[in-house]
Amino acid sequence: MNDRLSAQYWLHEQELTAYSSEAVRDRRRRAMERFEAVGFPSVRDEDWKYSSLKPVLAPHYGLRPPCAPLEDEHLEFKDIKRFMVNELDSYRVVFLNGRYSSWLSDTTHRGFDVCTLSAAWKKYPETMDRYFAHLTHELGPLAQLNTALSWDGLYVVVPDHVVVDRPIQVLSFTTGSEPRATQMRSLVVLGVNAQAEIIERHQSLTEHPTWTNSVDEAYLAAGAQLRWVKLQHDGPEAALTQHTRIQQARDSRAQVHTVSTSGRFIRNNLDFLLNEPGADARMLGLTLAKGKQLVDHHTLVDHRAAHCTSHENYKGIYDDGAKGVFNGRIYVHEDAQKTDAYQQNANLVLHERAEVNTKPQLEIFADDVKCSHGCTVGQLDEDALFYLRARGIKEPEARALLMLAFAEDAIAGIDHPSLNAKLHKLIAGKLGVDLTLDV
Amino acid sequence: MLEIKNLHASIGDKEILRGVNLTVKPGEVHAIMGPNGSGKSTLSSVIAGREDYEVTSGDILWDGQSILELAPEDRAHLGLFLSFQYPVEIPGVSVSNFVKTALNAVRTARGEEALDASAMLKKMREALQLLEMDKGFLSRSLNEGFSGGEKKRNEIFQMAMLEPRLAILDETDSGLDIDALRIVAQGVNALRSPKASFVVITHYQRLLDYIVPDVVHVLYKGRIVKTGDKSLALDLEERGYDWIKKEAE
Ligand SMILES: Nc1ncnc2c1ncn2[C@@H]1O[C@H](COP(=O)(O)OP(=O)(O)OP(=O)(O)O)[C@@H](O)[C@H]1O
Ligand SMILES: [Mg+2]
């Protein structure tokens, strides 16, 4: 796999960098060299201790030239409708096997840009030069691989004081008659006081194994606000490895909701770089895993300036032989006085074979800070279950009600009723109940 | 309607109920008193179907049929209600949604139609009024952060919603102030009818001034050791349990 990927880069470097500055080409090349030097992470790496990539890398993935346009693949709107939040008036950026599908999309350049990287390479080379891979050069091999080989994905650039009027739905579909690996990349740049909201979903439409490796870079100028919902409800043979990195200037706010309900293997890295005072980062996560699923969350809040706040609340429910990992790193630099950081990770383990490894990792080098954290791993409360059943609620519903109640605050704060309804439906479906029960 | 015959129940190797006999007829109010740890709450839990306790012998009949094999929810569907001595806090589930879900679960299990939103609301309003409760209660998380008295009142609110045929009130009076006690009793009395029965577990005869029992039992070491009329409660208040314990041993 390693050799095939590197061959792919060297074979297609020309096309990948045809419209880019030399600096960008250097960044790609260095990324490839780094990947070649270290290869894929293994369980010997501290960061990957509990999550072996082996099963993800095992299939013989068909690789296609990274910049090749869509061939004969075709999807109709009716094929993808059920994967979208339909009642929501939104921009739509749809990818099929890693390539933009203009046919299914609804993008814009009016007042701000919501379009694709494949277009931006040609159209906005200066912006790409300024932002591409600036936040990712120190990351691990998967991100390096992505920097070298990615070509398409979401591109959002919003000028100062502009509010993107509708949420942006990004959907990337995988189809085909063989295992497929895809690199997806996104770049989000919000100007001073600009605002945008993204709803992201990766979806495999084939029964063959798929692997999406994605990297997101987001830059928030002073006062900017970004909301991002990651809906990870993929097929049973789908794997997702993702690194999202958000850099925040003064008084900016970023909120990322990660809802992981299905997919064979999910690894999320989510980093917030709080560069200037007043920046606020919020991350909420809900994981419902069963069967042989593995869901691994690695988060980092890098408090680099004083007076920043971060709030993290991740909940997980693990059944059968599912496995979960939560590693929440908070790094408070010496100058980051008056930091206020909160971290909470609570888990329910419903089966003796299910397991979750949770680890807060607080590194605090400033003295005047408020940091609180807590991790719990427990079972459903039997007393509560009996209480509900004694009032006439059947056992499966009572269980589901308790799980929903447990999960609720990890999906709170999603303002769109249709998205909210969709989430609750996914969750109820996952819990195996027809929930007319609203919590 | 409820007949408990020579009921033995244990947890681990510890026998807690050691041959309880009790018959409650429709419309009757029975009070159960007894020292701490005598098994009153255990008896309620076993009647309600808590699986932690193992029934080693004896039987519980409801309208002549054994309910020992029934799940807690099935017993609730028959019309059994237990007001918990220690109501459980369930963060994230609001009182109103819980009560709606419970009532409609009970109704559909009985083959009745689920109540629609407006009928449900009307019923909730009436129950709130009966118990002089503020409607702000409805949107709060179930029992979370409720004061002791509020929890008990909330139990009776749910009872008023569910209209059980047999309600067991396990120390519903503990933790209530004088006014709340009167209001809760009012809630219970509103439900009294020739068909509805009550088992009232209490340490204080005061509650029995408001909810007047037909029969008073004393449970001691897992057995009913004395049964009398309401004057027994007055005797106990005056003399304590020592004489009963002596009699029993
Ligand atoms: N789950 C349990 N595990 C172990 N022992 C138990 C359990 N439940 C009850 N017991 C024991 O059984 C005995 C009876 O307890 P129970 O709660 O039924 O008493 P009670 O009569 O309700 O007391 P009180 O008046 O204090 O409420 C006690 O000794 C108690 O410790
Ligand atoms: Mg008790």
Report the candidate in B105, B62, B102 with the shortest Cα–Cα distance to residue B80.
B62
Quote the pLDDT of residue A1: 86
Ligand in closest contact with the CA of B33 = 1
Comparing A333-337, B93-97, B167-171, B223-227, the range with the smallest average pLDDT is: B93-97
Q: Give the whole-angstrom CA distance, residue B101 versus residue A404.
A: 14
Quote the pLDDT of residue A63: 86
The minimal CB distance from A393 to the residues B88, B92, B102 is found for B102
Q: Give the whole-angstrom CA distance, residue A122 versus residue A301.
A: 34
CA distance A314 to chain B (A): 15
Report the candidate in A260, A345, A270, A334 with the shortest Cα–Cα distance to residue A303.
A334
Q: Does residue A336 have a pLDDT over 60?
A: yes
Quote the pLDDT of residue A73: 76
The minimal CB distance from A439 to the residues B50, B52, B97 is found for B97
Q: Give the whole-angstrom CA distance, residue A246 versus residue A255.
A: 10
The minimal CB distance from A409 to the residues B92, B102, B105 is found for B92
Question: Please, which pLDDT band fits residue A438 given cuts at 50, 70 and 90?
Answer: very low
Whether residue A392 and residue B158 make contact (CB cut-off 8 A), yes or no, is no
Enter the pTM of the model.
0.88
Report the candidate in A259, A275, A267 with the shortest Cα–Cα distance to residue A331.
A275
Whether residue B73 and residue A387 make contact (CB cut-off 8 A), yes or no, is no
The mean per-residue pLDDT over the stretch A373-396 comes to 95
Cα nearest neighbour of A400 on chain B: B93
Ligand in closest contact with the CA of B203 = 1
Whether residue B98 and residue A388 make contact (CB cut-off 8 A), yes or no, is yes
Comparing A428-437, B6-15, B224-233, the range with the smallest average pLDDT is: A428-437
Structural domain boundaries in chain A: 2-395, 396-439
- ipTM rounded to 2 decimals: 0.96
On average, the pLDDT of chain A sits at: 94
Q: Does residue A435 have a pLDDT over 60?
A: no
Q: CB of B234 within 8 A of CB of B63?
A: no
Q: Where are the beta strands (DSSP E) in B191-240?
A: 197-201, 215-220, 223-228
Question: Please, which pLDDT band fits residue A404 given cuts at 50, 70 and 90?
Answer: confident
Whether residue A392 and residue B77 make contact (CB cut-off 8 A), yes or no, is yes
Whether residue A390 and residue B92 make contact (CB cut-off 8 A), yes or no, is no
Q: Which residues surround ligand 2, an ion (CB under 5 A)?
A: B 40-41, 85
For residue range A86-132, list pLDDT tens digits in order.
889 999 999 999 999 998 999 999 999 999 999 999 999 999 999 99
Helices A395-408 and A417-431: crossing angle in degrees, nearest 10, is 140
The mean per-residue pLDDT over the stretch A208-229 comes to 97
Q: Which atom of ligand 1 is nearest to the CA of B45?
A: 18
Whether residue B101 and residue A402 make contact (CB cut-off 8 A), yes or no, is no
Quote the pLDDT of residue A434: 58
Question: Please, which pLDDT band fits residue A190 given cuts at 50, 70 and 90?
Answer: very high
Whether residue A387 and residue B93 make contact (CB cut-off 8 A), yes or no, is no
Q: What is the DSSP string of A371-383?
A: EEEEEEEE---HH
Q: Does residue B190 have a pLDDT over 60?
A: yes
Whose Cα sits closest to atom 8 in ligand 1? B42
**CA of residue B37 to ligand 2 center, whole Å:** 7
Q: Does residue B70 have a pLDDT over 90?
A: yes
Q: CB of A170 within 8 A of CB of A202?
A: no
Whose Cα sits closest to atom 30 in ligand 1? B37
Q: Does residue B34 have a pLDDT over 80?
A: yes
Cα nearest neighbour of A403 on chain B: B92
Comparing A6-10, A57-61, A71-75, A227-231, the range with the smallest average pLDDT is: A71-75
Residues within a 6 A CB radius of ligand 1: B 11, 14, 16, 34, 36-42, 52, 85
Structural domains of chain B, with CATH: 2-177+193-248 (3.40.50.300)
Cβ contacts below 8 Å, chain A against chain B, sum to 79
Q: Give the whole-angstrom CA distance, residue B232 versus residue B216.
A: 7
The minimal CB distance from A394 to the residues B50, B73, B88 is found for B73
A147-157 b/e (C-beta count within 10 Å ≥ 16 → b):
bbbbbbbbbbb
For residue range A254-288, list pLDDT tens digits in order.
999 999 999 999 999 999 999 999 999 999 999 99
Q: Does residue A355 have a pLDDT over 60?
A: yes
Question: Please, which pLDDT band fits residue A437 given cuts at 50, 70 and 90?
Answer: very low
The mean per-residue pLDDT over the stretch B63-69 comes to 97
Q: Does residue A77 have a pLDDT over 50?
A: yes
Q: Where are the beta strands (DSSP E) in A334-424?
A: 340-349, 355-364, 370-378
Q: Does residue A40 have a pLDDT over 70?
A: yes
For residue range B127-148, list pLDDT tens digits in order.
999 999 998 999 999 999 999 9
**CA of residue B223 to ligand 1 center, whole Å:** 13
Q: Which residues of B touch A315 (CB under 8 A)?
A: none
Q: Does residue B61 have a pLDDT over 50?
A: yes
Q: Which atom of ligand 1 is nearest to the CA of B34?
A: 21
Q: Does residue A357 have a pLDDT over 70?
A: yes
Q: Which SS3 state, helix, strand or coil, does residue A413 take?
A: coil
